[in-house]
Amino acid sequence: MAKQQVRIGMIGYKFMGKAHSHAYRDLPFYFNTQVEPVMQAIVGRDEAGVKAAADRMGWHSYETDWRRLIERDDIDLIDIGVTNHLHAEIAIAAAEAGKHVICEKPLAMNVEEAGRMLEAVNKAGVVHMVCHNYRFVPAIRFAKQLIDSGKLGKIYHFRSRYLQDWIMDPQFPLVWRLRKEVCGSGTHGDLMAHSIDLARYLVGEMSEVVGMMDTFIKRRPLGEMSGGLHAEVSGEQIGEVDVDDAVAFMSRFKNGAFGVFEATRFGKGNRNGNSFEINGSKGSVRWNMENMNQLQLYVEDDEKGEQGFRNISCTEDIHPYAGAYWPAGHIIGYEHTFINIVHELMNGIAENKSPSPNFTDGYRNQVILDAVENSAKSKSWITLPKF
Ligand SMILES: NC(=O)c1ccc[n+]([C@@H]2O[C@H](COP(=O)([O-])OP(=O)(O)OC[C@H]3O[C@@H](n4cnc5c(N)ncnc54)[C@H](O)[C@@H]3O)[C@@H](O)[C@H]2O)c1
């Protein structure tokens, strides 16, 4: 029997557009999903650019206005890979049109928007996800299994660092990621949102936060992103940076654990240094994106004299998702995290369930992002709502 088709309409075709297109295209190579993804249409405002992107990445058609995509009755799923200020408007319109939605992170510009988005998908009864792709790294999935099995014992500490360095040159232009009206917040929503998602996934909900944030370079020449994390200056004009360059916060988890978080785009030498360490009463794990297939594990059950962190290559069939790819030791990369997430999304659509992370996770993440920002302004601890 032919599989049910899920006809995808994707908006945005640069960095995340490329990652998502690749994921839909490669998905059937590795996973036997319950439904068949169809790369139906892609949206971009520049006709020549979007047509070229559609041809190169394998989309069947294109549109130059996202509203037209929502109106089309041959689209079942809307994939939002555009700048943050459009997430809410597009996601709500998609839900109201009865279409499933996957949205890039951060879910929204603020809590109010995230709340409206959550309400819209719940009201429409569509399947929804937010693209926190790091949850889909096999080593992180395996760390979650270890924690849930009690192997690490009671969790005392979650410590994360997310360090990049691509805007350190003062001549790096004022792109959308540095303009509050387009991105909502800077490093905070871009990088810290991922760390918050991993903390909630691995350790649980938080009860209170206290934070600090700052902008080191306050004026920059105007310019545009040109793909990936590259950008071009567009003229002589200078503008004000109104978002954070760096942010740090502490939290208390509901289970009593301490959280310590740092995210910056001024971590010289770190291109995508996303890492964390978790310490429990019986063991610890460490993970670092720049060596993403490995999980460092310490367990106190090891013989005295033989104790120490061991490196596990999370590429064995027993490790989550790893068996779908290559024989053990034949590593996977960044792009596979997106294949894993769209695999969950397709199965979610087949079963009419929203896999995590979904808009509820995106909303709760936004509550924490906003609380940290408010705490930095008021220089005080903020109690989080109980979820
Ligand atoms: N999951 C991750 O790790 C990850 C990584 C990078 C970016 N992101 C998120 O993905 C989203 C997009 O970021 P990016 O890095 O791909 O940005 P980008 O600058 O590379 O691409 C943005 C795209 O949006 C398009 N766009 C903007 N306004 C539009 C409109 N009105 N209609 C149609 N297209 C429009 C642009 O033309 C471009 O194709 C952001 O929300 C960002 O936070 C997530």
pLDDT in tens, 211-233: 999 999 999 999 999 888 999 99
Domain residues of the chain, as ranges?
Answer: 4-133, 136-355+365-378
Q: Residue 260 corresponds to which tokens in the numbers above?
A: 């310590």
Q: Is 17 in the pocket of ligand 1 (CB under 6 A)?
A: yes
83 CA to centre of ligand 1 in angstroms: 5
Of 205, 211, 337, 203, whose CA–CA distance to 262 is shortest? 211
pLDDT at 235: 83
Q: Is 43 in the pocket of ligand 1 (CB under 6 A)?
A: yes
CA distance 246 to 212: 8
pLDDT digits (tens, 9 = 90+) for 233-246: 988 899 999 999 99
pLDDT digits (tens, 9 = 90+) for 131-163: 999 999 999 999 999 999 999 999 999 999 999
Share of the chain above pLDDT 70, in %: 100
pLDDT at 348: 98
Mean pLDDT of the residues in the chain: 97
pLDDT of 1 > 80? The answer is no
pLDDT at 2: 85
CA 82 to ligand 1: nearest atom: 24
The arithmetic mean of pLDDT across residues 65-83, rounded, is: 98
CA distance 163 to 150: 30
CA distance 59 to 42: 6
Q: Is 223 in the pocket of ligand 1 (CB under 6 A)?
A: no
127 CA to centre of ligand 1 in angstroms: 21
Q: How many CB atoms lie within 10 A of CB 67?
A: 11
Q: Is 14 in the pocket of ligand 1 (CB under 6 A)?
A: yes
Neighbouring residues of 35: CB distance < 8 A, sequence distance ≥ 6: 3, 4, 5, 6, 346, 347, 349, 350
Rg (CA), the chain: 21
On whether the CB atoms of residues 130 and 358 are closer than 8 A, the answer is yes
285 CA to centre of ligand 1 in angstroms: 32
Q: Which band of pLDDT confidence, cut at 50, 70 and 90, is reported for residue 191? A: very high
Q: Is 18 in the pocket of ligand 1 (CB under 6 A)?
A: no
82 CA to centre of ligand 1 in angstroms: 3
CA distance 177 to 225: 9
Q: Is 12 in the pocket of ligand 1 (CB under 6 A)?
A: yes
Q: Which band of pLDDT confidence, cut at 50, 70 and 90, is reported for residue 195? A: very high
pLDDT at 137: 98
Q: Is 79 in the pocket of ligand 1 (CB under 6 A)?
A: no
What interhelical angle do 359-378 and 193-202 show, nearest 10?
120
14 CA to centre of ligand 1 in angstroms: 6
pLDDT digits (tens, 9 = 90+) for 260-293: 999 999 999 999 999 999 999 999 999 999 999 9
The arithmetic mean of pLDDT across residues 123-128, rounded, is: 98
Neighbouring residues of 56: CB distance < 8 A, sequence distance ≥ 6: none
270 CA to centre of ligand 1 in angstroms: 22
Q: Which band of pLDDT confidence, cut at 50, 70 and 90, is reported for residue 314? A: very high
On whether the CB atoms of residues 139 and 188 are closer than 8 A, the answer is no
CA distance 64 to 51: 9
The class level of CATH for 136-355+365-378 reads alpha beta
β-bridge pairing 128-130 and 100-103: parallel
Domain 4-133: CATH superfamily, name plus number = NAD(P)-binding Rossmann-like Domain (3.40.50.720)
Nearest CA to ligand 1 atom 15: 15
- Same CATH fold, 136-355+365-378 and 4-133? no
Mutation choice for ligand 1 from 14, 79, 365, 369, CB with most ligand atoms inside 8 A: 14
pLDDT at 236: 87
pLDDT at 226: 87
